Amino acid sequence: MRSEYDLLAEEYDARWTTYIDRTVDETLRRLHVRGGESLLDVGCGSGAMLRRIVDGSPTTRCAGVDLSAAMIGNARGRLPSSVVLAVADAEHLPFAGNTFDAVVSTSSLHFWPQPVAALAEIRRVLRPGGRVVITDWCDDFIMCRVCDRYLRWRNPAHRDVHSGDECTRLLREAGLQVDSLDRYKVSWLWGMMTATARKQVLLAGKNFAM
């Protein structure tokens, strides 16, 4: 996957502008960015999500990771130096536990070889009560299902497109409290889903989602 996206980096934004804009819109609509918070984008690509957040909420402290050094290079060119960027995979985030108020990830989940491990790592870096918003392809739509089968055959970087129910299960297995999961189309045939979840707060031996 690293090699594939290193090669795609220069043309990625131009090729997928409409798709990127729509998925960023859908993710931010559910994220509810708050000034003064700290936020991590896992699989940040060329930084489109982070650029929108920085422009709309300058006091939000942002960071991003991506497996592709070329994509991180593109993100560095469009983002202020205050945004922390690193080449890293979702299962090994280079941050201390309880660091972020929010974590987002867009169109990355279907590449993760161990999604529960990656989501558990996201939970680790979230502060208690912190929220996560995951947007990805959705296997509940026929064309996504067809594309998934084809890519599993032809592309070794591709892992698995999940259904909405599977995504909910993965989040719960990682110890996250699922708040919602929405399915929708971004074109006449292509379907996506966005899940929102939280890291529970432990109080007096009980779990609470804030």
What's the CATH code of the domain at 178? Answer: 3.40.50.150
Q: What are the pLDDT digits (tens) for 90-147?
A: 999 999 999 999 999 999 999 899 999 999 999 999 999 999 999 999 888 777 677 7
- pTM reported for the whole predicted model: 0.87
C-alpha to C-alpha distance for 163 and 167, rounded to whole angstroms: 6
Chain centre distance of CA 79: 18
The pLDDT of residue 32 is 92
Question: Mapping DSSP to helix (H, G, I), strand (E, B) and coil, where does residue 162 land?
Answer: coil
Boundaries of domain holding 168: 2-208
Residue 142 Ramachandran class (φ > 0 left, ψ -120 to 50 alpha, else beta): alpha
C-alpha to C-alpha distance for 46 and 9, rounded to whole angstroms: 8
Percent of the chain with pLDDT over 90: 66
Q: What are the pLDDT digits (tens) for 154-178?
A: 666 656 889 999 999 999 999 999 9
In sign, the C-alpha dihedral spanning 160, 162, 166, 170 is positive
Percent of the chain with pLDDT over 70: 81
> Cα dist. 124→35, 127, 140 in Å?
22, 8, 29
The β-bridge partners of 62 are: 39
The total number of structural domains in the chain stands at 1
1-13: average pLDDT: 57
Q: What are the pLDDT digits (tens) for 34-51?
A: 999 999 999 999 999 999
In the predicted model, is pLDDT for residue 56 greater than 80?
yes
The residues, ordered by sequence, that sit 6+ positions from 8 with a Cβ below 8 Å of its Cβ are 15
The pLDDT of residue 97 is 98
Pairing of strands 38-42, 100-106: parallel
The stretches of 113-173 forming alpha helices (DSSP H) are: 115-125, 142-154, 164-173
The 8-class DSSP code of residue 82 comes to: T
CA neighbor of 49 nearest in space, from 31, 73, 68: 31
In the predicted model, is pLDDT for residue 13 greater than 90?
no
The residues, ordered by sequence, that sit 6+ positions from 38 with a Cβ below 8 Å of its Cβ are 60, 61, 62, 63, 99, 100, 101, 102
Q: What are the pLDDT digits (tens) for 17-27?
A: 788 899 999 99
Phi/psi for 207 (5° steps) reads: -95, 135
169-188: average pLDDT: 94
The pLDDT of residue 38 is 98
